Amino acid sequence: SGLGRVCRGYKHLDKCTHQIAPLEVKYQLRNGDTRTLFHCNCTRRLVRFLRRARDLSDAEVAVLANCIGTDCFVLELPSDCSPGKGPQHDCITAPRAVLVPAQHLKKTLRRWGPPHATSTAECRDWKIQDSGGTL
């Protein structure tokens, strides 16, 4: 079924270890949106899946547009941390998230045009499990 296909697409996001829930602060970035933010590698993986499933219904597009943010983030080390030798090589500072537009996701969703349906489906709780995550 169509929604089952979308659920299979969500499993790619389930495996994403780097995500920021709505209103959560993580990696020094606050997600002020009502949708979960994902690392850009994870949204690219979702886009590859969506391109293969070209026949999504309006309801499926509405669910995606409602639940997945159209921004993503990349993780960057602080500028004083550089790979190589010396004391700066042993940085203990955690990477910080930098928000970027997920153009790859926006472009794919735009291909289907604006959803002609609205979604009342509950968005997934993207809390990750302790094992099996990918970036």
Better-predicted residue by pLDDT, 117 or 20: 20
Which residues lie closer than 8 Å to 82 by C-beta, 6 or more apart? 88, 89
Domain assignment present for 58: yes
Q: By residue range, what is the domain housing residue 76?
A: 2-111
CATH code, domain with 69: 1.20.90
Domain assignment present for 134: no
Domain count, the chain: 1
What's the mean per-residue pLDDT of the chain?
Answer: 73
25-80: pLDDT as tens digits: 999 999 999 888 999 999 888 888 877 776 666 666 667 777 777 899 999 987 77
Domain assignment present for 104: yes
Alpha carbon distance 69, 37 (integer Å): 6
Domain assignment present for 52: yes
Domain assignment present for 31: yes
Domain assignment present for 122: no
Alpha carbon distance 55, 74 (integer Å): 30
Domain assignment present for 124: no
- Take residue 113 and report the two structure tokens written for it: 């045009």
Domain assignment present for 44: yes
